[in-house]
Amino acid sequence: MTTLLDQRAVPLALRSRVVLVIASLAGLLMLCWPLLVQVPADGGGRTDPPFLFLLLLPLVIAVVIAEISEGGMDSRVLAILGVLSAINALMRLLSAGTAGVELVFFLLILSGRVFGAGFGFVLGVSSLFASALLTAGVGPWLPFQMMCAAWIGMGAGLLPRRVTGRWEIAMLAAYGVVAAYAFGLLMNLSGWPFLLGIAVPGHEGNLSYVAGAPLLDNLQTFAVYTLLTSTSSFDTGRAITTAIALVVLGPSVLTTLRRASRRAVVAVS
């Protein structure tokens, strides 16, 4: 019953799903590129971070958004999307100063759960874009953040529907913890070669990324890097705050969102 209603906020046709999958693959390739680079055996030539991706990723995101909203979105869904993006942006603004305390994901996960995967994806993109516009904080990192947040919103919409009540909150909180760590990991992975540089051939044993080294070696170096810089501090803080917010405020916010979604979606059909 609820499934039918909920999915209708932003319906995902089969074609949209295909586009989403291919675009996610492209996004994942661009995020995880350090682990994929293969250098010809004879070596030589320098490897530079592919700055091209900074332009490519926004285009991929634009295509997905255009495809999802193809055929027009309902104005109620649009208005709710705008309001939720604004709240998310505001929460990001308020929580930006305090280290590790990030509240962006909390509402994103709840909205994705209530309004479905398509809505969650679009909300992830629009929330981060809105907050970047509001603070004039558009930077090279923005496309990557948008993609990851979109995945988090979409994933929340894909969680099993049947779970309700306390178990639902527990499931969402667990998802929130996983999402917070995964977000940190993926953002670190995308920023690692940019921030630390790429190791020069023949000189190893620091934390830099080695282009073309065996996957396992790079993964190991990356694990140390991410553990030292953020997984044990920022990401843990983010995971804890997200989980606490979901447990404490989740039930009441879920009810509010469900009421809004019923009014927004039922009125149309």
Partner 1 sequence: MRSLPRDLHPVAWWLWAVGLAAAASLTTNPLILLMIIGVVGVVVAARRSDHPWAKSFRFYVWLGVAAVFLRVLFRVVLGGGYPGTVLLDLPEIPLPDVVQGISLLGPLTRESLLSGLYDGLRLAAIIICVGAANSLANPKRLLRSLPAALYELGTALVVAVTVLPQFTQSIQRVRAAQALRAGETGRVRRLRRYLVPVLEDTFERSLALAAGMDTRGYGRAGTATRAERRTTGALMIGGLCGVVVGVYALLDQTAPRILAGPMLAVGLLVALAGLVVSGRRVERTRYRPDRWRAPEIAVAALGLTAGVIGWWVNSEQIAIAYPDLSVMPQVSLAALVAVALGALAALVSPPPARSAR
Q: Both tokens of residue 154?
A: 């979409």
Neighbours of 15 (CB within 10 A): 10
Minimum distance of partner 1 from residue 123's CB (angstroms): 9
- Please report, as residue ranges, which positions from 187 to 216 form the binding site for partner 1 (by CB under 8 A): 194-197, 200, 202-208, 212
Using the rule CB under 8 A, give the single segment among 120-128, 160-168, 172-180, 234-242 that binds partner 1: 120-128
Phi, psi dihedrals of residue 64, rounded to the nearest 5°: -65, -45
- Please report, as residue ranges, which positions from 34 to 73 form the binding site for partner 1 (by CB under 8 A): 36-41, 46, 48, 50-53, 55-56, 59-60, 62-63, 65-67, 69-73
Q: Both tokens of residue 163?
A: 């779970």
For position 138 contacting partner 1 by CB under 8 A, the verdict is yes
**CB under 8 Å to 111, separation ≥6 — which residues?**
84, 119, 120, 123, 153, 156, 257
**38/269 with CB nearer partner 1:** 38
Q: Both tokens of residue 60?
A: 């991929």
- Please report, as residue ranges, which positions from 230 to 249 form the binding site for partner 1 (by CB under 8 A): 248-249
Q: Both tokens of residue 181?
A: 């760590």
Using the rule CB under 8 A, give the single segment among 27-35, 154-162, 181-189, 230-238 that binds partner 1: 27-35
Minimum distance of partner 1 from residue 14's CB (angstroms): 10
What whole-number distance in Å separates Cα of residue 193 and Cα of residue 225? 11
**123/180 with CB nearer partner 1:** 123
For position 182 contacting partner 1 by CB under 8 A, the verdict is no
**87/159 with CB nearer partner 1:** 87
What whole-number distance in Å separates Cα of residue 98 and Cα of residue 158? 31
User: What Rg value do the Cα atoms of the chain yield, rounded?
Assistant: 20
Site string for partner 1, 73-102 (x = CB under 8 A): xxxxxxxxxxx-xxx-xx------------
**How many chain residues are in contact with partner 1, going by CB under 8 A?**
91
Closest CA to 10 of 267, 264, 257, 258: 264
